[in-house]
């Protein structure tokens, strides 16, 4: 019986504790994931944002690659903000396009969304993306844990 009380006391105490340093923080308002994964995770000094589609309210925005890229970056920025970061903290992006003929259009929207930030980037053509998306952007940001 004493063990049960001790266990109950321990679980109550642990639920009122602050998260450990480096624990992942939920995003303030990024797009909800479309699968069984975490949209943003802190791993030491790195924050990884899972691939973002051009979703608004769970639906792909209309307007093709330009509009989807713009919205994917809006979603990416929201997840970064939820972790206390900005695009200036992004060091690497991995971008996916379903049609490499849209690369120039994608680049224009990407530059507009990232402003003066120019992280390292890879862009690959893929056969398909979730929900029929035309573009997906994943980001790795660096911000030392203090």
N- to C-terminal Cα separation, the chain: 42
Condensed to tens digits (0 to 9), the pLDDT of residues 78-100 reads 999 999 999 999 999 999 999 99
Q: Please give the domain boundaries of the chain with CATH numbers for all domains.
A: 41-142 (3.30.1330.40)
Radius of gyration from C-alpha coordinates of the chain: 19
Angle subtended at Cα 89 by Cα 65 and Cα 66, rounded to the nearest 5 degrees: 10
How long is the chain?
Answer: 146
129/121 Cα distance (integer angstroms): 19
pTM, two decimals, is 0.79
101 SS3 class: helix
In the predicted model, what is the mean pLDDT of the chain?
Answer: 85
Of the listed ranges 30-34, 102-106, 123-127, 140-144, the least confidently predicted one is: 30-34
| Residues β-bridged to residue 126 | none
Q: Is the pLDDT score of 28 beyond 70? A: no
């Amino acid at each position: 019986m004493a063990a049960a009380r001790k266990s109950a006391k321990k679980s109550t105490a642990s639920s009122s504790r602050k998260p450990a340093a480096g624990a992942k923080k939920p995003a303030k308002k990024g797009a909800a994931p479309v699968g069984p994964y975490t949209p943003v995770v802190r791993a030491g000094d790195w924050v990884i944002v899972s691939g973002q589609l051009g979703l608004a309210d769970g639906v792909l925005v209309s307007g093709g690659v330009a509009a989807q890229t713009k919205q994917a970056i809006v979603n990416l920025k929201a997840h970064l903000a939820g972790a206390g970061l900005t695009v200036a903290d992004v060091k690497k992006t991995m971008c996916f396009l379903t049609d490499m003929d849209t690369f120039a259009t994608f680049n224009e929207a990407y530059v507009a969304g990232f402003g003066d930030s120019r992280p390292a980037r890879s862009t690959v053509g893929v056969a398909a993306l979730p929900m029929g998306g035309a573009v997906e952007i994943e980001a790795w940001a660096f911000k030392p844990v203090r």
